[in-house]
């Protein structure tokens, strides 16, 4: 068993050897540095994607289905293009026939319309919908309210705007009660939504940059020759799969889809986003694992080579120590500590480089470097050092002191 003075002496000699060859030691750790940088940044990106997905999914709702002409993922776009449009009449029929729904809400949208107040204007998506949109989307007005059934059915010129639209148009003024223009038509602002933040890393789909008006008004402004989405929120306590199958069956009958023929509409949920996220994370993980493994392999080989060089250079020193009574375990421990310290140094340098890079990632994709990655990086660094140093350390420990002292 290693005694305390042997332990202390081994660490002192190892650190002295590293300090005597500073530049060589730093260059030797480059592979470890690259491996640690890759694994930490990869974990930071995955963490950021996870945070963005969780935030975005919370805005979609866990038990909401989105019936649409288009599939979000997985279907070739040219097949979806030839489908019939989803209509307001179909939404009405689904409301009547699908009893497991808490709310069935038609939503029709147009992109990047001009929203103007006095001499200030912004571009944003405009959505026509019904009051129950509050139920399916979970939107919460930070100020004012959403439009009611009377305003929707009567086509009253009222609108609810996102927080970014409000701040850009009205600056320090209170938007409630003010009249702005949407695509040239006057609308009185009755509500401002709570800030949602970016949706999947972009503000384009965020409700912060959008405006909501009654569907009747939308159709008068932009026409009815377009497909809509139908948001369906399932009643609480109803099994999702059971509700999904019944909903699809009801909508197939409404659209007259013959038995045995595939759906001519998309049934989208947040699960699709999770699948895409898992696919992206898997790809990032595989690429990151390959780069990290290669970097650590190169770094480990570099450490092993430099340790063999160190053993050669210090052969007479090893012989002298053994002649003076140093045990094999002391020599073994000394070189293992030296190899592990070199790799730990590489890990620390890698973390020092990763931290500012993670701040840059945070500007693009809000994220944070997980603490477990820091611990894992340092553990891997020390592990690589021990594995890489074990053969050179055994070589040094097994030297014959007489042969070592004769070495030129």
Residue at 232 is within a domain = yes
Domain assignment present for residue 248? The answer is yes
For residues 161 and 300, membership in a common domain is answered with no
Given this model, what pLDDT does residue 336 score? 81
Q: pLDDT by residue (tens digit) across 152-190?
A: 999 999 999 999 999 999 988 999 999 999 999 999 999
Q: According to the model, what pLDDT value does residue 128 have?
A: 95
- Using pLDDT thresholds of 50, 70 and 90, give the confidence band for residue 52: low
Considering the domain architecture, whether residues 336 and 214 belong to the same structural domain is answered as no
Q: Indicate the pLDDT class of residue 191, thresholds 50, 70 and 90.
A: very high
Among 8-22, 191-205, 219-233, 241-255, which is the least confidently predicted range?
A: 8-22
Q: Are both 217 and 324 inside the same structural domain? A: no
Instruction: Specify if 318 maps to a domain.
Output: yes
Pair 212, 340 in one domain: no
The radius of gyration computed from the CA coordinates of the chain, to the nearest angstrom, equals 33
Task: Please identify, among 217, 237, 264, the residue that sits at the C-terminal boundary of a domain.
Answer: 264
110 shares its domain with 241? yes
Q: Are residues 130 and 229 in the same domain?
A: yes
- pLDDT, tens only, 312-347: 777 777 777 777 777 777 777 777 888 888 888 888
Does 362 share its domain with 216? no
Domain ends where: 264, 286, 301?
Answer: 264
Query: What distance in Å separates the CA atoms of residue 124 and residue 114, rounded to the nearest whole number?
Result: 7
107 and 254 housed in the same domain: yes
Q: Given this model, what pLDDT does residue 144 score?
A: 94
CA distance 299 to 314: 22
Q: In this structure, are 101 and 49 located in the same domain?
A: no
Can you give the residue range of the structural domain that contains 113? 84-264
**Count of Cβ atoms closer than 10 Å to residue 329 Cβ:** 14
| 77 within domain boundaries | no
Give the SS3 label for residue 138. coil
Is it the case that residue 55 has pLDDT exceeding 70? Answer: no
The first and second tokens of residue 377, run together, are: 């990086």
pTM of the model: 0.65
Q: Indicate the residue among 264, 284, 305 that finishes a domain.
A: 264
Number of domains in the chain: 2
CB atoms within 10 A of CB 300: 21
CA dist., res. 129 & res. 23, Å (int)? 67
* Encoded tokens for 328: 């094999």
- Residue 61 domain-assigned (yes or no): no
What are the distances in angstroms from CA 140 to CA 113, 146, 207, 254? 23, 8, 11, 32
Question: Does the pLDDT of residue 199 top 80, yes or no?
Answer: no
> Residues 105, 180, 109, CA angle at the centre, nearest 5°?
30
Predicted pLDDT of residue 5: 55
- 70-84, 205-219, 371-385: range with highest mean pLDDT: 205-219
């Amino acid at each position: 068993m290693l005694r305390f003075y042997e332990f202390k002496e081994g660490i002192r000699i190892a650190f002295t050897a590293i300090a005597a060859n500073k530049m060589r030691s730093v260059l030797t750790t480059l592979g470890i540095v690259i491996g640690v940088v890759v694994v930490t940044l990869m974990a930071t990106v995955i963490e950021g994607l996870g945070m963005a997905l969780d935030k975005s999914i919370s805005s979609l709702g866990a038990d909401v289905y989105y019936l649409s002409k288009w599939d979000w993922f997985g279907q070739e776009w040219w097949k979806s293009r030839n489908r019939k449009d989803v209509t307001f009449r179909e939404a009405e029929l689904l409301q009547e026939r699908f009893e497991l729904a808490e709310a069935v809400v038609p939503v029709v949208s147009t992109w990047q319309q001009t929203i103007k107040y006095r001499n200030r204007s912004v571009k944003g998506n405009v959505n026509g919908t019904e009051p129950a949109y509050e139920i399916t989307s979970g939107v919460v007005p930070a100020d004012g309210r959403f439009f009611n059934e009377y305003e929707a059915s009567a086509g009253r010129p009222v609108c609810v705007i996102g927080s970014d639209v409000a701040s850009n148009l009205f600056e320090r003024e209170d938007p409630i009660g003010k009249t702005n223009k949407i695509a040239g038509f006057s609308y009185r602002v009755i509500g401002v939504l709570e800030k949602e933040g970016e949706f999947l890393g972009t503000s384009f789909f965020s409700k912060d940059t959008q405006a909501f008006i009654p569907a009747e008004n939308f159709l008068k402004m932009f026409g009815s020759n377009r497909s809509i989405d139908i948001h369906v929120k399932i009643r609480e306590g109803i099994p999702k799969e059971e509700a999904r199958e019944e909903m699809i069956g009801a909508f197939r009958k409404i659209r007259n889809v013959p038995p045995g023929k595939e759906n001519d509409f998309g049934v989208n949920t947040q699960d699709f986003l999770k699948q895409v996220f898992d696919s992206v994370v898997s790809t990032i993980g595989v690429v990151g694992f390959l780069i990290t493994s290669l970097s650590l392999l190169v770094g480990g080989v570099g450490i092993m080579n430099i340790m063999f060089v160190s053993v050669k250079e210090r052969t007479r020193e090893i012989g002298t120590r053994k002649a003076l009574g140093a045990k094999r375990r002391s020599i073994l421990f000394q070189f293992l500590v030296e190899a592990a310290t070199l790799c730990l140094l590489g890990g620390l340098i890698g973390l020092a480089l990763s931290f500012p890079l993670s701040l840059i990632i945070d500007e693009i994709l809000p994220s944070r470097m997980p603490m477990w990655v820091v611990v894992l990086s340092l553990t891997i660094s020390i592990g690589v050092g021990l594995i890489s140093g074990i053969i050179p350390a055994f070589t040094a420990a097994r030297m014959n002191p007489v042969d070592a002292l004769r070495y030129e």
